[in-house]
Amino acid sequence: METVDPNKVPKVRFYNGAEIPAVGLGTFGSDHVSADQIAEAVYQAVKIGYRLIDCAAVYDNEKEIGGALKRLFDEGIVKREDLWITSKVWNSMHHDVRGSFEKTCRDLGVDYLDLFLVHWPFPNSHAPGVSVDSRDPDAVPYRHRDFKRVWAVMEDLYEKGLCKNIGTSNQTIAKMKLLLSTCKVKPMVNEMEMHPHFQQPELFDFLKKNGIAAIGFCPIGSPARPERDKTVTDTVPIQDPVMIKIAKAHNVHPAVICVKWAVQRGQIPIPFSVKPPKFTMNLKCTTEDPLTDEEMNEIKSIDKNNRFIKGQVFLWSTAKDWHDLWDEDGTIAGW
């Protein structure tokens, strides 16, 4: 088995001094990869050198991943403190963030998290696997007074040392500005969609200016995402001629170029695969054969502002369409 020295994998430093590995393993099975397969991938990935695992309660596999972690600890392969475990409070648990944190810890078999995120900034939820037309009858627009209550519990978990770092996910500049104006503890990180066809330069720069790191989800463009998350205008980053050309020059798959680009840009990609050759390459590629400045610039030029995870199922009854979720003109819809 090929292994990668975790000490050779670059790290990103948060404003509080914490250092997160610059690449991690995603664990969302996109409705077709089973919890057991993902848990086995976590076990194998840590064995080959991964240290960052991106979990979430809504992925419905934290118990199985907890089983994999127990094996790793029992077999002496790693200690708890060697790992960086991220999880997220799901939308339907905004009223009980502490309860969600405790359940995640029980399921994963750990007594603290390295990073806990608010998965989405509103409490709107959906049943697993629903179509994009499905709507939560109780869905509401973003309300900062509610989010402030959610964030206060996150701050408490941080101050008690139960979550070593806290952050947001799927935030916009407008919502982040509000949070920054009222929070006691600034988020260390925002997890957001980022790949060569959706680079989010304004939000990325805004976060950077404010000392907030960025974790990039769907870093390869999530080619196997559920059908409900696909629309006819979506493009495929790994089929982009520029990505194919650069991949040929480095003798790797274009997916690997997505990972290299993300790490060199300073974001933290969390690519998903349960296939050892793929997840091994995604880690190894961050330790060798970097992209040139020219290649980085070429990739910068292929941004298509093409959001794949649009979040339609979170829309409230009076919302126009999914654009209302993303504050594209700088104002919060329904506010």
Ligand X SMILES: NC(=O)c1ccc[n+]([C@@H]2O[C@H](COP(=O)([O-])OP(=O)(O)OC[C@H]3O[C@@H](n4cnc5c(N)ncnc54)[C@H](OP(=O)(O)O)[C@@H]3O)[C@@H](O)[C@H]2O)c1
For ligand X, the binding residues (CB under 6 A) are 26-28, 54, 119, 169-170, 191, 217-225, 253, 255-256, 270-275, 278, 281-282, 309
| Single-letter amino acid, residue 69 | L
Positive or negative, the Cα torsion across 56, 335, 136, 156?
A: positive
Alpha-carbon distance of 208 to 216, in angstroms, equals 14
Catalytic residue check, 43: no
- In angstroms, give the least distance from the CB of 98 to ligand X: 20
Residues paired with 217 in a beta bridge: 193
- In angstroms, give the least distance from the CB of 192 to ligand X: 7
- Name the residue with tokens 């002496």: 76
Strands (E), the chain: 11-13, 19-21, 25-26, 52-54, 84-89, 115-118, 166-169, 189-193, 213-217, 268-269
Q: Out of 43, 59, 142, 158, pick the active-site residue.
A: 59
Query: For residues 67 and 168, which CB has a smaller minimum distance to ligand X in the complex?
Result: 168
Tell me which residue has its CB nearest to ligand X. 26
Query: For residues 184 and 230, which CB has a smaller minimum distance to ligand X in the complex?
Result: 230
- Specify the 3-state DSSP secondary structure of 215: strand
Q: What is the dihedral of CA 169, 170, 174, 178, to 10 degrees?
A: -30
- In angstroms, give the least distance from the CB of 188 to ligand X: 15
Count of H helices and E strands in the chain? 10, 10
- In angstroms, give the least distance from the CB of 33 to ligand X: 7
Query: For residues 203 and 281, which CB has a smaller minimum distance to ligand X in the complex?
Result: 281
Query: For residues 170 and 206, which CB has a smaller minimum distance to ligand X in the complex?
Result: 170
Count CB neighbours of 199 within 10 A. Answer: 23
Query: Which residues are known to be catalytic?
Result: 59
